[in-house]
Structure 1
Amino acid sequence: MTDTVDPPLAGVRVLDLADGEFQMVGRYLADLGADVLRVEPPGGSADRNEGVLSGDTSLTFEIANATKRFTTVDPASTRAQADLDALIDGADIVLVGRLSDYVTGNLVDPTTIADTHPGTVVTVLSDFGEQSSKKNWTSTPDVQFALSTILSRSGLPDREEPLLPPSFLVAGAVAPQAVWMTITAYYTARRTGTGDVIDFSTLDALAHIFDPPMGMQGSGRTGIDPFDVPHGRPDARALYPIFPTADGMVRICVLSPRQWQAMLTWLGHPDEFNTPEYNRPAYRVKEKDRIFAHYRDLFAGMTTEEAVRQGEELRVPVTSIDELSDVVDEPAFRANGSFSDLTLADGRVATVPTGVYTIDGVRTGITDTAGGRVDNDPQDGPWLAAPVTAPVVPGHAPAADEQDRHLPFTGLRVLDFGVIVMGAETGRLLADYGADVIKIESTSFPDGCRQMSPGVEMTKSFAWGHRNKRSLGLDLTTEDGKNLLRRLVAEADVVLTNFKPGTLERLGFGHDTLQEINPGIVLSESSAYGDTGPWSTKMGYGPLVRAASGLSALWCYPGDADGYSDTITIYPDHVVGRLNAIAVVALLLRRARTGRGGVVTTAQVDAIFAAMAGHLAAETLEPGSGLAALSAPQDAPRGLFPAAGDDEWIVVDGHGDQRFAALAGAIGHPEWISDDRFATLTGRLAHNEELEGALREWTSSRTAITAERQLQDAGVPAGHMMRFADIGHDHDFSERGLLTTMTQPQFTEPFPTLASEGHSLRLGDARLQPAPLQGEHTREVIRDVLGLDEDTIDALVTCGALEPHPSDTPTTTGAPQ
């Protein structure tokens, strides 16, 4: 590996007119090498003074824009229209915040850009989408948590209220989804010559990427239908339990039979657990009270450091529950490149998350104190002078439907070694849009999400995560199996893995070997803590990474030692799946430009750090301030309020003088507007109890939906707590086309599934072919891709190199269409 890298998106120009939670969209593209030019009015945008603040510095702004260039266009200037038009003329991608000063001032119209620049991709970023009855609703992260069903699953059933997750998680999920849609549309444009308009919605994004109600679930919940979630919050603490030590807390993730046997060794082999049924996670959950009594006794007698060390020695997945202060002081995050230094606008140096990508062995993002930011005048800067070198993707344009919409990855062949949620997601995203994704698996090392109840071959979760793929049963412990893989790699475009670092090399298929076989191959790798540093070999499931990153400690009922509430979530697996898919497409674009492939590696922990970057930076500047920024009251009244009915809730946010006045009128207290006690934020906070009491009385006397509509009609951000069961009846999800149904042969009836990623003029609807049984397409793949005859295939089956499913007979033909 070298110290430099040819950036995958070199030559791609992005004009950034985004704001608020969408600032990170351009940042991800810049980190992959795009020339991202952010446009601001004189004196800077309001974003410079919002987000996580340290003194007069917005850490959110500094980090989200660190690798971009800047220019100024005065919306009031007579040159404004001409300046913006010139910048748009030079752009391949235009990111447009619906509430941008340039949009509200009628200087930028996405529809006009699409008409006058037919090869450009325009992404319009808003809370609810342009094509939505909620288009003009006001929103906050808490409102989005309520409407996306996330709130209904956050918290514990024995607490009175659900728990609002940390608000930074919204932006942390939304930006990758916006980038995924944008780069997919751009890839299509480079194949077809025709641009696109993406109508992006935060609500759509959260439904797809955070904890999708119809998405792949973790192995701990394999076989549990998400629509069986109880009316109150589900209690998933037994899946990834947390226990006190002598000086802290630890979380364990005992899932596989091997891990359970290691745990028994740690416990001293209690006789009461020495029966085979305890190897099954579902049975252990049933017997959790007896098992957890032993866990408590074990951990109570040791420090957190001792518990983690002993667990790692025994190969039991365990980690500490860390606070922000622990995280920023952890040397491992410097060693693996997760943290770097950034010189802020006021001259101070903060430790910040670097970014999420390592390309060809080189970290991208904030890699020096300068952050890479340069200011330019639009009339004489290199933006207008440099030639555009964006690649044209070779091959025929992908097949289009009657509305001239495309599946951009048609013709790509992907070898998918991905497992559990993140591994499933990356391949599914490519398969949905046309790629032939071949899931390679074996009976010796099955995907953890293949752990199903006796007699069950398919779950909805697995079907959602692996639709449109083919399954190849291949034993790589045999020399014949390895020879077959070498031939498959020669015929492939992409290889996907999320093994522990070093696993591919031990199998004899490290990146160097793959490139020798196929110089154009693109390899995607992901792990818990990255492929370098002392934690690279640390066992890491999502719940452990959330604990080690500081997120679990923040997602907790305040002051409640047993209030940790992140167990049910799959975050950040679906986010990381998209981050890797984005980089794969970027590397395919570079391959079109240079002819060579490349490798991207990511770490789950970096996806979490990207979301909480401002709070981590604040913690390094002033210990305690990162947590204070999360808990500091912003205004009153705001928060979670009960509505009429059983466990019904509504989020209301009356922050700011204007919205407070609107709230006062909407709930029948117009006298508040002229009351000097409530004239300022300080005054409202001082009388918070009185204000919230009145609002609570008002919301509890009506349904959450009724209260939501009355408040939104008045311009007050509000959202009722939706559940899984509500989605199919929700008008917004219906009109946005978010849901459809899929047919899976192992189920008697079609069941709901998420449709395409969002609104687009050119991207076709996601394919809806079934997910495969293990080894279902073994013979078919070997025939189609390698051209082997049946006698040869039979011999490979007999020697154990190939593992077809019993139903996989020689009569099965044809890749999924």
Structure 2
Amino acid sequence: MSAAAKLPLAGLRVVELAGELADSGTRLLADLGAEVVKVEPPEGAAGRRRTPMGDISRWAWHLNNANKLGVVLDAADVCDMTKLRDLVGAADILVDCWGPGRLADAGLEPGRLTAEVPGLVVVQVSAFGQTGPYRDLQATEHVLYAMGGVLSRSGFPGAEPLLPPVGLVEGHTGAHVAWAALLAHYQARRTHRGESVDVSAYEAVVHGLDPVFGTQGSAAAARPDTFPRGRPDSRNYYPVYRCADGHVRTCLLSRRQWRAMFEWLGSPEEFADPKFDAIPARFHAAERLNAVIQEFFDRHTRAELVEEGAERGIPIAEVLDVADVLTVPHFVTSGVLADVEIAPGVTARVPSGQVRVDGVRAGHRSRCPELGEHDDVVLGADGFWPPRVLLAGPELADGDRPFVGLRVLDLGVNVFGAELGRQFADNGADVIKVENAAYPDGLRQSRREGAFAASFAWGNRNKRGLGLNLRSPRGVEIFRSLVATADVVVANFKPGTLAGLGLTHEILAEINPRIVICDASAFGNVGEWRKRLGYGPLVRASCGVSALWAYPDVEYGSADGSTVYPDHVASQVAAVSVLAGLIARLESGRGCLIELAQSDVALTHLGGHLAAESLQPGSVGPEGNIALAEAPSGVFPCAGDDEWCVVSVRDDDDWARLCRVVGRPELADHPLLGNVAGRLRNRAAAAGVLTQWLIRRDREESIAALQQAGVPAGLMARGPDQLDDAQLTARGAFADLEHPALPMTLRANLQVATYTSVPVAPLLPAPVLGEHTREIAASLLGLADQEVEALVAEGILQPE
């Protein structure tokens, strides 16, 4: 049996029409066992044609297309379109990245395809979606960072805002593409009808990268009058400190963590006041406190600080650059980094895969195909796939959400845990959030003492709440009884916690062989770092993200403090993997164990950087606000108070268009600027042409003129701008979330994709701690009132 045959999506058939926004999403499906056929035009996909100067993006493209088969078909050739129709007719999922309207122009209108092919899912992926006023705009990753609100929170106060490293937008979009495809497929299995899905990369950034109106978002954005114009000074959120041989980052969140640090510093009298147990007091005293910590850390190496911090229970991590990451033993031992062939004759150390299924990494099996490499195999006269048989799931009534009838026991905590469970709750599953009143979810903490936290309301909507003490044998026994009635268990504790509670995969699978378990953590269950404390900021530091998300040549230049990445996207990858396990269960009747490390997701997003550094040591570092293979490209000032825009000139055609727009058509053929190589050598001169034009004009008119000419460009948007954004409004991106414990209505993110028949999620209020304890005890556990009250008295069951 092949390695792919043992994976949960074995037998799933996917046809991908080449583009770049979905590459990593279909790669994730392929990693999980799907057969993915990538269809390219005769000239090859854009990523394949990149010049060596674009090595990072070029190698990222190769990595995102591993584990796939490659064929060439010409959209202008009638015979080729017949072959494509035949191929799609035997597939389960078609992922279309050709751009809005092009599939229909080729005679493959999605509605007709889903009517002709029972149960077919058509996922259309584009920068802004198939509908709305931005439908035909041009975009690059940098443009989407600006328009999606990320850029406005990235950088130092008073300085030029800083673009995050490339790879994150594509990685986020890909995760949402994979989720949308499998969600629609699961729906089709239950309704026996096809489904069309529209995925917008713009909405993936707004809703999924670091949402302003979502879990751990910038809740202040709900009040435009108080939202800051400049970047927040986020350097003290998760501070970076110099040490004897580099830099480290700390992440002091709890009182216990701060007290451990206080003692380690020698209990300095000026910070002995109990008020410093709270984050706000430490933040306000950051200048002096940081100086004390810096003086102490200067005397120690990274390894000493991390080791001693771990002993004391203090979250601390090295700030590693990409070269360092490639040599970390943990990443090799765990299998996330492997030396593999990424192109014919080219071997590099690169990320292999993001998850483990039943103890085996779902990762790299074959390199990216050469152009048309599998034409004979896939497009032969006898056909590649035999006639498809749609394996049905449990019947679903019209109007029901896909996961109606599923039950999820949600042990997840903080951002990752909230978002993972929410994906299933939003789509109809009965998600029971299990909490111990003595150790409530960290998301329940609010800036205002006693108030219900907005982040908890956003991330735990549509769930029920069960108060249960899992530190007691009777509590564990009750949880095991619930497992017998459940379909999924999700948790993101420190590795070993579930085992310590007596809730290992083996034990739970013996109770319920159909159970799908997701056990996630910062650095995974295998390898030297498996016992490390980890939060998103520490994961970023240890994986090279912080070192790349930095101002070049600036000490402490990391500008990623205002994000909790990779929590949101890692939870999305986990949700995809759990859903893959549920799809496999429809046929096998057996559940599985999904293991995910957030670090593996972050490393995957930096795959192109790691490949380039592996092949050419010393070549990769922070890029700042330039695109290595493009000029002029990056962040440009506009007229107004702290107003900026992003413009990307991808090639000579874009340059000629820009020259016409700015009234300098003669520069299109200028001997120093008329080609990419010349502009890269003369970046300042090329950028000056654009800057001089932008600074004198109305910013909206400038961007509109560039876009009308076909040049990717976008304004830097702030959080409140999203609520009035024409595209997001047209596509219904937000809704009102009410909660009886909240003093005001919250605006809340809805879903990244739109579907023909999957209903939009309701917004039922998140539970207060233990809100549904008695209800669940009676209906699911069958406990009599007298027994319930006895368990409440013992503190085992914990009602509201």
Q: How far off its partner does 1:287 sit?
A: 1.9
Residues 30/271 of structure 1: CA separation in 2 closer, same or farther (3 Å cut): same
Q: How far off its partner does 1:68 sit?
A: 1.1
Q: How far off its partner does 1:51 sit?
A: 8.2
Given the alignment of the two structures, is residue 721 of structure 1 paired with residue 704 of structure 2, yes or no? no
- 1:457-483 per-residue CA deviation (whole Å, 9 max, x = no partner) reads 412111111111111110011222112
Residue 290 of structure 2 aligns with an amino acid whose one-letter code is: F
Residues 305/205 of structure 1: CA separation in 2 closer, same or farther (3 Å cut): same
Greater CA deviation, 10-19 or 453-462?
A: 453-462
Q: Aligned residue for 1:209?
A: 208
- Within a 5 Å distance, the mapping from 1:203-242 to structure 2 comes to 203-217=202-216, 229-242=227-240
Residue 319 of structure 1 aligns with an amino acid whose one-letter code is: A
- 1:143-166 per-residue CA deviation (whole Å, 9 max, x = no partner) reads 10111011111111132x111111
Distance 1:4 1:78 in 2: 34
Greater CA deviation, 96-105 or 150-159?
A: 96-105
Residues 184/381 of structure 1: CA separation in 2 closer, same or farther (3 Å cut): farther
Distance 1:370 1:167 in 2: 20
- Within a 5 Å distance, the mapping from 1:522-601 to structure 2 comes to 522-601=516-595
Given the alignment of the two structures, is residue 423 of structure 1 paired with residue 420 of structure 2, yes or no? no
- Within a 5 Å distance, the mapping from 1:329-728 to structure 2 comes to 329-367=327-365, 375-377=374-376, 378-380=378-380, 384-386=384-386, 388=388, 391-394=391-394, 396-400=395-399, 406-453=400-447, 455-627=449-621, 633-728=628-723
Q: Aligned residue for 1:302?
A: 300
CA contact (8 A) 2:90 2:386 kept: no
**SS, match of residue 525 in structure 1:** strand
Greater CA deviation, 320-329 or 621-630?
A: 621-630
- Within a 5 Å distance, the mapping from 1:164-203 to structure 2 comes to 164-203=163-202
Distance 1:234 1:55 in 2: 33
- 1:525-580 per-residue CA deviation (whole Å, 9 max, x = no partner) reads 11111110111111111000100000100001111113211111121111011111
Distance 1:628 1:146 in 2: 18
Distance 1:476 1:294 in 2: 40
Distance 2:388 2:129 in 1: 31
Q: How far off its partner does 1:275 sit?
A: 2.8
Q: Aligned residue for 1:320?
A: 318
Distance 1:753 1:57 in 2: 33
Q: Aligned residue for 2:65?
A: 65
Given the alignment of the two structures, is residue 774 of structure 1 paired with residue 777 of structure 2, yes or no? no
What TM-score, normalized by structure 2, do the two folds share?
Answer: 0.95
Q: Aligned residue for 1:762?
A: 757
CA contact (8 A) 1:4 1:362 kept: no
Distance 2:382 2:11 in 1: 12
CA contact (8 A) 1:88 1:94 kept: yes
CA contact (8 A) 1:782 1:788 kept: yes
Q: Aligned residue for 1:137?
A: 137
Greater CA deviation, 327-336 or 365-374?
A: 365-374
- 1:751-779 per-residue CA deviation (whole Å, 9 max, x = no partner) reads 21112332111110111000111111111
Greater CA deviation, 530-539 or 385-394?
A: 385-394
**SS, match of residue 342 in structure 1:** strand
- 1:4-23 per-residue CA deviation (whole Å, 9 max, x = no partner) reads 97321122110111322321
Q: Aligned residue for 1:83?
A: 83
Distance 2:115 2:219 in 1: 48
Residue 14 of structure 2 aligns with an amino acid whose one-letter code is: V
Distance 2:412 2:103 in 1: 42
Residue 772 of structure 2 aligns with an amino acid whose one-letter code is: H
Distance 1:787 1:729 in 2: 49
Q: How far off its partner does 1:278 sit?
A: 1.6
What TM-score, normalized by structure 1, do the two folds share?
Answer: 0.93
Q: Aligned residue for 1:119?
A: 119
Residues 3/203 of structure 1: CA separation in 2 closer, same or farther (3 Å cut): closer
Greater CA deviation, 307-316 or 569-578?
A: 307-316
CA contact (8 A) 1:42 1:72 kept: yes
Q: How far off its partner does 1:274 sit?
A: 2.2
> Which of residues 798, 804, 807 is equivalent to 2:799?
804
**SS, match of residue 672 in structure 2:** helix
Q: How far off its partner does 1:291 sit?
A: 1.7
**SS, match of residue 234 in structure 2:** coil
**How many residues of Structure 1 are paired with residues of Structure 2 in the alignment?**
795
CA contact (8 A) 2:249 2:318 kept: yes
CA contact (8 A) 1:13 1:93 kept: yes
Q: Aligned residue for 1:812?
A: none
CA contact (8 A) 2:433 2:465 kept: yes
**SS, match of residue 608 in structure 2:** helix
Given the alignment of the two structures, is residue 98 of structure 1 paired with residue 98 of structure 2, yes or no? yes
Residue 477 of structure 2 aligns with an amino acid whose one-letter code is: N
Given the alignment of the two structures, is residue 742 of structure 1 paired with residue 737 of structure 2, yes or no? yes
Q: How far off its partner does 1:40 sit?
A: 2.6
Distance 2:101 2:787 in 1: 66
Q: How far off its partner does 1:52 sit?
A: 7.5
Distance 2:427 2:479 in 1: 24
**SS, match of residue 575 in structure 2:** helix
CA contact (8 A) 1:5 1:360 kept: no
Residues 222/310 of structure 1: CA separation in 2 closer, same or farther (3 Å cut): farther
**Structure 1, unpaired ranges of 5+:** 401-405, 806-817
**SS, match of residue 659 in structure 1:** helix
Distance 1:618 1:674 in 2: 32
**SS, match of residue 503 in structure 2:** coil
Residues 423/382 of structure 1: CA separation in 2 closer, same or farther (3 Å cut): farther
Distance 1:43 1:649 in 2: 36
Residue 65 of structure 1 aligns with an amino acid whose one-letter code is: N
CA contact (8 A) 2:408 2:430 kept: yes
Distance 2:630 2:338 in 1: 34
- 1:275-311 per-residue CA deviation (whole Å, 9 max, x = no partner) reads 3222111221122223212101110111222222221
Residues 208/54 of structure 1: CA separation in 2 closer, same or farther (3 Å cut): closer
- 1:412-455 per-residue CA deviation (whole Å, 9 max, x = no partner) reads 11110000101100001110111111110112222112223564
Q: How far off its partner does 1:60 sit?
A: 2.3
Q: How far off its partner does 1:238 sit?
A: 1.4
**SS, match of residue 207 in structure 2:** helix
Greater CA deviation, 763-772 or 700-709?
A: 700-709
Q: How far off its partner does 1:723 sit?
A: 0.6
**SS, match of residue 119 in structure 1:** coil
Q: Aligned residue for 2:272?
A: 274
**SS, match of residue 626 in structure 1:** coil
Residues 57/225 of structure 1: CA separation in 2 closer, same or farther (3 Å cut): closer
CA contact (8 A) 2:101 2:130 kept: no
Q: Aligned residue for 1:808?
A: none
Residues 53/649 of structure 1: CA separation in 2 closer, same or farther (3 Å cut): closer
RMSD, aligned α-carbons: 2.6
Greater CA deviation, 209-218 or 719-728?
A: 209-218
Given the alignment of the two structures, is residue 250 of structure 1 paired with residue 244 of structure 2, yes or no? no
Distance 2:697 2:244 in 1: 48
Greater CA deviation, 440-449 or 736-745?
A: 440-449
Q: Aligned residue for 1:794?
A: 789
Q: Aligned residue for 1:163?
A: 162
**SS, match of residue 650 in structure 1:** strand
**SS, match of residue 268 in structure 1:** coil
Q: How far off its partner does 1:703 sit?
A: 3.2
CA contact (8 A) 2:90 2:387 kept: no
Given the alignment of the two structures, is residue 290 of structure 1 paired with residue 288 of structure 2, yes or no? yes
Residues 3/193 of structure 1: CA separation in 2 closer, same or farther (3 Å cut): closer
Q: How far off its partner does 1:696 sit?
A: 1.5
- 1:663-707 per-residue CA deviation (whole Å, 9 max, x = no partner) reads 111122223234333222233334432332232222122332221
CA contact (8 A) 2:173 2:205 kept: yes
